[in-house]
Amino acid sequence: MNLRRVWAVARKEFLHVLRDFRSLLMAIAIPMLMLLLFGYALTLDVKNVRLVVWDQSGTQLSRELISRFTGSPYFSLQGYVNNYRDLEQAIDSRRAMLALVIPVDFAGQIASGRDAPVQLIVDGSDSNTATIALGYAEVLTQIYSQDLVLRQFQQRGGAAPRIPLEVRPRVWFNTDLESRNFIIPGLIAVIMMVIAAMLTSLTFAREWERGTMEQLISTPVKARELILGKLLPYFAVGMFDVLLAVLMGELLFGVPLRGNVALLFGTAALFLAGALAMGMTISIIAKNQLLASQVAMVATFLPAFLLSGFVFTIANMPKVIQIITYIVPARYFVAILKGIYLKGVGLEILAGETALLTAFGVIMILLANFKLKKKLM
């Protein structure tokens, strides 16, 4: 391999990127915009669940129960209703997602030591949010019920009942359970995969469309030199995007980076090289910029977003889909990023994922070289 020829091709591609404002905008501005949009808009935290109340009891005990909901950051009281028709209207109009119905004899049943049923009506059109909201409501009612039992024992002068099981939860790695802390690292992998493949998916297709590919074929430049020369500028731009994403995650979103920064950028370089080579392979095969960009989007964004474990847990997917995820390179990089960011683990834990990323990069570069060699012969 002649490094002088590699540098000549790389210099030509660098000049093209610098002179083409649209390519430079795509390479830098779009990742930042995607990180901002997804970082602020995409959240799995459920807070301020809209609540309406039908308090048929109107007693101090019912007001105490309502105060448990209004005093929680997870619920937002939207008002009171006086019948099921108004309750249904509030849920249908999306003014409320959850309704609390307290029966007329609520206080009397509690005073007599009987169970006092309370109705919770939830809008199940958003099943995930509804499940979490019901979980919050059930915890609040259980705590309120325990407080009532303790109060009754104290009023009767008896000893408080002993609770045989006490759960003391402790959350590791993401103490506040902020979804942003694991969404942002995974989002870096998705953005890198999409941008890298889309950038290089236009390189060889552009040469074919402009008629300059024949000139490159006639030069002494070999296939591997041409591929490496065209890859280097976009690799530099991609690593700059990684630096921007890490800085934005740290300074703008406050995502903790507990692991080794060198390991983070080293694995990012492996993943980036494979993604760039994948885009080049698509470009070599397609020979058309529009087709290449469309294929690159389908081949990168959808698998990286849906099948990498970035948002949707792979263990919850059907078995067939779980098997397919093993060929998605973003799956391994997402695992690496979350391990470095949240757990602070090193190569001794992430060696398997790192080896698979290395294999991905090598395979993609060899495939691009094989496909281009056929055209140069």
Domains detected in the chain: 3-43+178-376 (no CATH), 49-155 (3.40.1710.10)
Instruction: Find out whether 234 and 200 touch, Cβ atoms under 8 Å.
Output: yes
Q: Give the whole-angstrom CA distance, residue 40 versus residue 159.
A: 50
Q: Give the whole-angstrom CA distance, residue 277 versus residue 234.
A: 10
Amino acid at 369: N
Q: Give the whole-angstrom CA distance, residue 29 versus residue 35.
A: 10
Instruction: Find out whether 87 and 99 touch, Cβ atoms under 8 Å.
Output: yes
Q: Give the whole-angstrom CA distance, residue 206 versus residue 287.
A: 8
122 torsion bin: left (phi>0), alpha (psi -120 to 50), beta (else): beta
* 113 SS3 class: coil
The three-point CA angle 206-212-216 to 5° equals 110
* 49 SS3 class: strand
The three-point CA angle 311-314-316 to 5° equals 100
Which residues face 55 on adjacent strands? 102
Q: What is the pLDDT of residue 128?
A: 80
Q: What is the pLDDT of residue 161?
A: 62
The three-point CA angle 169-310-31 to 5° equals 125
Residue 215 is encoded by which pair of tokens? Answer: 């000139």
pLDDT string in tens for the chain (377-residue length): 677 778 788 887 788 777 777 777 777 888 888 888 877 777 777 788 999 999 999 999 999 999 999 988 889 999 999 999 999 999 999 899 999 999 999 888 888 878 888 999 999 888 888 888 888 898 888 888 888 877 777 776 666 566 666 677 787 888 777 778 888 888 888 888 888 877 787 777 777 777 777 677 667 778 788 888 888 888 888 899 899 999 998 888 888 889 999 999 999 999 999 998 988 888 888 888 788 888 888 888 888 888 888 878 888 889 999 999 999 999 999 999 999 998 989 999 999 999 999 999 999 988 888 888 645 44
Q: What is the pLDDT of residue 376?
A: 47
Instruction: Find out whether 192 and 34 touch, Cβ atoms under 8 Å.
Output: no
Q: Give the whole-angstrom CA distance, residue 294 versus residue 290.
A: 6
Q: Could you say which DSSP state residue 44 is in?
A: -
Tracing tokens 């397609």 back to the chain, one arrives at: 286
Phi, psi angle pair for 337, to nearest 5°: -60, -45
Residue 128 is encoded by which pair of tokens? Answer: 């995930």
